Amino acid sequence: MNNYKLIIQYDGTDYSGWQTQINAKTIQQTITYSIETITKEKVNLIGSGRTDTGVHAIGQTANFRLETELDLYKFKYSLNSILPYDISVLTMEKVDIDFHARFDAKKRTYLYFISKYKSPFFRKYSYHYHGELNLSELNNISKNFLGNKDFTSFSKKNTEIDNKFCEVYDAKWYGKDDLVIFEISANRFLHGMVRTITGTILKVSETQDGEEFINKIFEERNREAALMAVPAHGLFLHSVEY
């Protein structure tokens, strides 16, 4: 048995997220079908995380196991040639049979892009926020999300997951040309967590509610306590570290 690791980029605009679903087009399903078309073998494609509907990826990691020994260069070329234009396999390598893209991941990093003005070129990949953005203030607010905390209030309800604790390593805002970027890294993320954290930080910066207000949101452990979630189209899974 052989185990293959992929680094994948995709535009999530026309997909119902990563995870395979009935009667919905997803990234996982599309890549799996393409691999099986070439290899004529059934495969289980494992992603590092389940990006939501409309979310993009710059560096999603995935792996699959196969009986066949592949020519990596030829297979990657063939795979990219039949994948749709909005999905691309950047790299492919053979890894240890025990490697698991999801369970072995130590750190995941997301980027959220905000455009400073209305632009037809940014509209699919950034959120046009109408308020003033003070980077120093946004960074101060973001410090409240660092550490190992219960993020129940910042995630969509999911009865399948009992443990809502995540350790956030870094959360920072910076400018890049005509964009403002929020970068957040953690050991794991819950469903809708990054978008809700981003929206909450923006709203707190508007209302000046501060640290006490954010602590109260954490304590309530209720999604309704948190503020707005920003749109999905500005969010990118940037990288996964092992």
Q: Which helix (H) or strand (E) holds 8?
A: strand 2-10
Q: How many CB atoms lie within 10 A of CB 216?
A: 12
C-alpha span between 49 and 242 (Å, rounded):
13
Residue with tokens 């640290």: 211
Local structure of residue 115 (DSSP, 8 states): E
Total H helices, total E strands in the chain: 5, 10
Cβ neighbours for 188, distance < 8 A, ≥ 6 positions apart: 49, 105, 108, 166, 167
**Is the distance from CB of 237 to CB of 49 less than 8 angstroms?**
yes
C-alpha span between 135 and 239 (Å, rounded):
23
Residues with a catalytic annotation lie at 52
